[in-house]
Structure 1
Amino acid sequence: MKMDAIPNLPWIQKGDHVGEIIANAVIHSRVSLEDGDILCVASKVISTAEGREVALSDITAGEVAERIHTKVSRKDVRVIQKMIDVTEDPSGHKLEVFHDYIGAWLPNGMRLTSAGIDQIDAETIMLLPEDADKSAREIGETIQRMCNVTVGVVITDSDGRIEKKGATQIAIGLYGVPALRKSEAIDSQTGEVKQSVETFCDLLAGAAALIMGQRGTNRPVVKISGVAYPFNAENTIRDSLSRTPN
């Protein structure tokens, strides 16, 4: 396996076509892109292009957000309100609060720290892409059209675990890449066939994070080469989820 950041990407602006920008960087930088390569793309560049910034001054916190804020006072109460809004459950029951942590169950069945909301500065937050699977598909189809190669695309986002410090990176949208990887092995002691399942899309996202770094590095797209997988244009992030949206 080999990983490289796509070079010479400009800072993404609202209204930009992310797929075309990536394709142009590949073409002009003469990046070798082959069928079966995987592009991991940071969700924040897509959110930026989609204009998903929200001013905290436009948010009015309700009673439920105020109540949760008493438990997690470090989090701006208006951000908590937006987390509630994102879950589409005004009761706040789709938020999980443990000590200093807030996780949120999203309508598509994923659970993310802070509902995937990033605080850009003291008065601005950034929401997740509207539909990360759709964004992944648009990028993949644009690369096919402009570069004449078929690539998988994984949209990635930072996420934390309640019991660990810091953050890792996970997949929130897919195109072409399977969500899961199943394998079989023979137990050397018993001769039994053992089956295992890995969240393949998250393995790719976590690997790409080593190159991407965090906000400000401007390495939002990482190419992964040399990983075999069956391409399927119908794959989505829901294939990785054990919880059915309700």
Structure 2
Amino acid sequence: MQLLPIHTPLLREGDDLVSILTENAEFEDGDILALSSKAIATVEGSAIALEDIDVSEEAEFLSEHCGKTPALRQAMLNETQRLHGKVVGKCKHAVLTELKPDGLKEGTIMAASAGLDQSNIPAGFTIGWPMDPVVSVGQLRKALKDVTGKDIALLITDSCCRPRRIGVTAIALVVSGFDPLEDMRGKKDLFGREMTMTQEARADQLATAANIIMGNTDASIPAVIIRDHAIPFSDFEGWVPGIEPEEDL
């Protein structure tokens, strides 16, 4: 499998992302394009100006006990509400939210600060996911097909943390063009035992592989082409399914 970085100029609100990508990369049929959620949110104009935010007592409390400014904590609370979520955990450095965005049919998404952060964005702003990632991924895939003539699948990524582990990896928020899970149930292992539970999170695995190339600082690589992956394309388009809380560990 090949991971091919796409270097771009600094992205700004209103930029034509498809033109920028196709000017800086050569695509082939069967490619999977991993795109940073923050890159899409940036060009779509989803950055949040912190000076425009009215701060609540809850935000003041979270700021005092979990760090970050009251305005940033209020932005997180606003985003949590927009994504039909709730605060489920907190420590002196972070706040954990559980989100159920429109269109997510199975499970919820656990995310620090409702997906908001302040990296790779001008001072005084914060940014999270695109307003509707499913719409974004569908429009981008169609536009790439129109411009390149190639059949390219897409996944939108975001960095994430893991329980009891240091460091970030990545997850796939939404996918267009391939099944995000590979169901191994019913298949046999090396000793002939039938698998009964395993589903491989291949969209998340691809997101993490791409995130190694993208980096989280000043690399200016918001997209990675995944080639020679042997993953069949499908009609799937939407949020990557999750697990319902009552069924989770």
TM-score range relative to shorter protein: 0.7 to 0.9
> In the alignment, does 2:79 pair up with 1:78?
no
**Contact 2:179–2:236, Cα closer than 8 Å, also in 1:** no
**Contact 1:154–1:177, Cα closer than 8 Å, also in 2:** no
Percent of pairs with identical residues: 29
Give a deviation string over 1:123-179, Cα, whole Å, max 9, x none. Answer: 221122111222222221111111111111011111123422221121112111212
RMSD: 2.4
Distance 2:40 2:112 in 1: 19
Distance 2:36 2:86 in 1: 29
Secondary structure at 1:234's aligned position in 2? Answer: strand
**Contact 2:47–2:128, Cα closer than 8 Å, also in 1:** yes
User: Which residue identity is paired with 2:155?
Assistant: V
Q: Following TM superposition, by how much is the alpha carbon of 1:222 offset from its aligned partner in structure 2, in angstroms? A: 0.5
Q: Which runs of 5+ in 2 are unaligned?
A: 102-107
Distance 2:5 2:89 in 1: 35
TM-score by length of 1: 0.85
> In the alignment, does 2:52 pair up with 1:58?
yes
Give a deviation string over 1:176-204, Cα, whole Å, max 9, x none. Answer: 12121122542444x33114201111100
> In the alignment, does 2:3 pair up with 1:3?
yes
Distance 1:188 1:14 in 2: 52
Q: What is the number of equivalent residue pairs in this alignment?
A: 235
Q: Following TM superposition, by how much is the alpha carbon of 1:25 offset from its aligned partner in structure 2, in angstroms? A: 2.7
Report 1:1-246 matches (<5 A): 1-7=1-7, 9-26=8-25, 31=26, 33-72=27-66, 74-88=67-81, 93-108=86-101, 109-119=108-118, 120=121, 122-183=123-184, 185-189=187-191, 191-195=192-196, 196-238=198-240, 240-243=241-244
**Contact 2:112–2:160, Cα closer than 8 Å, also in 1:** yes
Distance 1:162 1:75 in 2: 21
**Contact 1:144–1:151, Cα closer than 8 Å, also in 2:** yes
Q: Which runs of 4+ in 1 moved over 6 A?
A: none
Q: Which runs of 5+ in 1 are unaligned?
A: none
Question: CA, structure 1 residues 215+136, in 2 after alignment: closer, same or farther (shift >3 Å)?
Answer: farther
User: Which residue identity is paired with 2:116?
Assistant: I
Question: CA, structure 1 residues 161+187, in 2 after alignment: closer, same or farther (shift >3 Å)?
Answer: closer
